[in-house]
């Protein structure tokens, strides 16, 4: 029997599905010891700090992660950072294979004038802020304006717009950060515009998310019927299945009678942002009607861009165009990559399952004989490693703190608080 040691860097969906794929490939002859390394004191990646808090069903995949984590041979090393606590070279020595599963956390930039004005930010800041990510807890998001513009036509833009335009008490029974709920309750934002640079037939929203929008109880959702019927004509007689499904869902929204809720999400299409203007902070976004010379602007005090993400570079790992350079998940020597760091920020959480399974098959094909070069604990010098046992204590404490408030959990937002909860 051969037992190989594998390190997975990043405790998000792609990392867990890679671990699961390895566990499924085990046999009497082939066994794995899997160490998952995570820089935050908490695992689950985007399931904790990305998925919208009003979509709790999507987060139930964490139950799968917890089953993977209690399989024999699996160890969690959270609060351990590649770069400061250990290096990729050390991992390559200590393990038969290293899997990078660090996702893509950096928001892409529009590259237009005014993008860095106060009041303009990426969803890569706004989303982890409302989801209690410790690195974003001290951001102040100024919601004193009436109108916010969200740029992008994907599901992240939709999450951001919805969270901004919900009646904030709807977030009370969710695990939204307390600081964010307080800000939303004090928010003056009543109009949110989602702006797409192409027509509705090219929107990257998915139809289940679109179909949920008219169910919002306290928010008007507005699409211009002619925008959608023009898009239906442009899509032709035989649009792809997902395009048709999206356009059907958008037509339902466009045909729905407007309500008189004071909170509104309005979709605009064929609008290319060309400048963000303001004296010292955001005051308006200037758009060009895509494919024409027509210029128009929207007065607003907040702009959130949700136009995709790039991977954060790790020392010793080659990067290009926001992704780890790889061939089908192979990086170099005994290093592999899975998830968004491999293929870019696309697909839903489940997409990572088949993706990771394919890469793990290649990894197993590459294995020869196990090498023994000591343990990761020889390298980590601090004694505040969050193991699976510590995480289970943190997890239970958060769930218990949420119970009397009718929340699935009350997340701790501060690193020290998280470590204290884990009795570290
Ligand atoms: P996305 O789906 O790739 O959408 C990005 C959007 O940004 C596109 O509409 C794109 O338009 C636009 N864009 C890109 N560059 C732009 C620019 N320079 N100016 C204006 N617009 C620009 O990305 P995402 O919304 O970040 O989502 C990432 C992935 O996570 C997606 O697969 C998404 O479905 C998934 N996700 C799923 C859920 C869910 O299931 N509920 C929730 C959140 C995210 P073009 O098409 O014109 O480039």
Q: What is the tens place of the pLDDT at every residue in 71-125?
A: 999 999 999 999 999 999 999 999 999 999 999 999 999 999 999 999 999 999 9
Measuring from atom 29 of ligand 1, which residue has the nearest CA? Answer: 346
Q: Which residues of 39-73 are buried (b: 16+ CB within 10 A; e: fewer)?
A: bbbbbbbbbbbbbbbbeeeebebbebbeebbeeeb
Measuring from atom 2 of ligand 1, which residue has the nearest CA? Answer: 154
Measuring from atom 3 of ligand 1, which residue has the nearest CA? Answer: 308
8 A C-beta contact, residue 253 and residue 265 = no
User: Is the model's pLDDT at 260 over the cut of 90?
Assistant: no
8 A C-beta contact, residue 201 and residue 234 = yes
Atom of ligand 1 nearest to the CA of 156: 25
| DSSP symbol at 258 | P
Q: What share of the chain is helix, strand, coil (3-state, %, to 5)?
A: 35, 20, 40
State residue 379 phi and psi, 5-degree precision.
-100, -40
Tell me the pairing of strands 330-332 and 74-78.
unpaired
pLDDT for 372 equals 67
Assess whether the C-beta atom of 270 lies below 6 angstroms from ligand 1. no
Instruction: Give the C-alpha separation, 284 to 274, whole Å.
Output: 11
CA angle 252, 122, 47 (to 5 degrees): 70
Assess whether the C-beta atom of 154 lies below 6 angstroms from ligand 1. yes
Alpha helices for 138-193 (secondary structure H):
155-165, 178-186
Instruction: Give the C-alpha separation, 292 to 66, whole Å.
Output: 52
Catalogue all structural domains in the chain, each as residue range(s) with its CATH number: 2-105+310-421 (3.40.50.720), 109-307 (3.50.50.60)
pLDDT tens by residue, 56-73: 999 999 999 999 999 999
Closest CA to 199 of 255, 272, 264, 258: 272
Instruction: Give the C-alpha separation, 313 to 302, whole Å.
Output: 29
8 A C-beta contact, residue 254 and residue 228 = yes
Alpha helices for 187-325 (secondary structure H):
207-212, 225-235, 241-255
Cα–Cα distance list, 330 to 297, 324, 390 (Å): 46, 10, 33
Assess whether the C-beta atom of 347 lies below 6 angstroms from ligand 1. yes
The structure tokens listed for 205 are 């929203």
Q: How far is the CA of 204 from the centre of ligand 1 (A)?
A: 6
Tell me the percentage of the chain whose pLDDT exceeds 90.
Answer: 95
Conformational region of residue 344, where left means phi above 0, alpha means psi within -120 to 50, and beta covers everything else: left
8 A C-beta contact, residue 120 and residue 114 = yes
User: Is the model's pLDDT at 312 over the cut of 80?
Assistant: yes
Measuring from atom 8 of ligand 1, which residue has the nearest CA? Answer: 153
Q: How far is the CA of 15 from the centre of ligand 1 (A)?
A: 22
| DSSP symbol at 311 | P
pLDDT tens by residue, 331-382: 998 999 999 999 999 999 999 999 999 999 999 999 999 986 789 999 998 9
Q: How far is the CA of 154 from the centre of ligand 1 (A)?
A: 3
What is the CB neighbour count within 10 angstroms for residue 87?
Answer: 15
By most ligand atoms within 8 Å of CB, the mutation choice from 14, 109, 153, 158 for ligand 1 is 153
Q: How far is the CA of 284 from the centre of ligand 1 (A)?
A: 23
pLDDT for 107 equals 97
How many CA within 13 A on the CB side of residue 230?
Answer: 10
Instruction: Give the C-alpha separation, 288 to 295, whole Å.
Output: 5
Query: What is the reported pTM?
Result: 0.97
The structure tokens listed for 131 are 């989801």
User: Is the model's pLDDT at 37 over the cut of 70?
Assistant: yes
């Amino acid at each position: 029997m051969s037992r190989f040691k594998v390190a997975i860097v990043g405790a998000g969906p792609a990392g867990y599905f890679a671990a699961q794929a390895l566990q499924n490939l085990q046999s009497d002859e082939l066994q794995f010891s899997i160490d998952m390394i995570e820089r935050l004191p908490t695992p689950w990646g985007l399931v904790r700090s990305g998925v919208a808090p009003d979509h709790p069903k999507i987060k139930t995949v964490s139950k799968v992660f917890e089953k993977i984590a209690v399989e024999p041979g699996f160890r969690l090393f959270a609060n351990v950072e590649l770069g400061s606590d250990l290096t990729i070279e050390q991992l390559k020595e200590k393990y038969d294979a290293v899997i990078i599963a660090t996702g893509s956390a950096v928001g892409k930039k529009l590259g237009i004038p005014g993008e860095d004005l106060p009041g303009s930010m990426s969803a890569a800041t706004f989303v982890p802020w409302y989801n209690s990510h410790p690195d974003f807890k001290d951001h102040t998001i100024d919601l004193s304006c009436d109108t916010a513009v969200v740029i992008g036509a994907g599901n992240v833009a939709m999450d951001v717009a919805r969270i901004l335009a919900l009646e904030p008490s709807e977030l009370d029974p969710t695990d939204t950060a307390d600081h964010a709920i307080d800000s939303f309750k004090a928010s003056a934002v009543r109009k949110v515009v989602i702006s797409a640079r192409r027509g509705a037939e090219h929107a990257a929203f998915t139809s289940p998310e679109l179909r949920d929008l008219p169910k919002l109880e306290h928010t008007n959702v507005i699409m211009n019927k002619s925008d959608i019927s023009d898009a239906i004509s442009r899509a032709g007689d035989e649009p792809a299945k997902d395009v048709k499904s999206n356009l059907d869902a958008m037509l339902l929204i466009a045909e729905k009678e407007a309500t008189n809720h004071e909170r509104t999400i309005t979709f605009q299409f064929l609008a290319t942002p060309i400048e963000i203007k303001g004296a010292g902070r955001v005051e308006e976004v200037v758009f060009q009607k895509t494919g024409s010379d027509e210029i128009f602007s929207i007065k607003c005090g907040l702009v959130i861009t949700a136009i995709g993400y790039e991977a954060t570079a790790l020392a010793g790992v080659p990067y290009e165009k926001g992704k780890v350079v790889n061939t089908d998940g192979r990086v170099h020597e005994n290093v592999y990559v899975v998830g968004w760091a491999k293929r870019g920020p696309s697909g839903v959480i489940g997409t990572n399952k088949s993706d990771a399974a394919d890469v793990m098959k290649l990894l197993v094909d590459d294995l020869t004989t196990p090498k023994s070069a000591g343990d990761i604990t020889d390298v980590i010098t601090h004694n505040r490693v969050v193991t699976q046992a510590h995480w289970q204590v943190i997890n239970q404490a958060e769930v218990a703190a949420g119970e009397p408030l009718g929340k699935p959990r009350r997340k701790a937002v501060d690193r020290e608080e998280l470590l204290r909860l884990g009795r570290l």
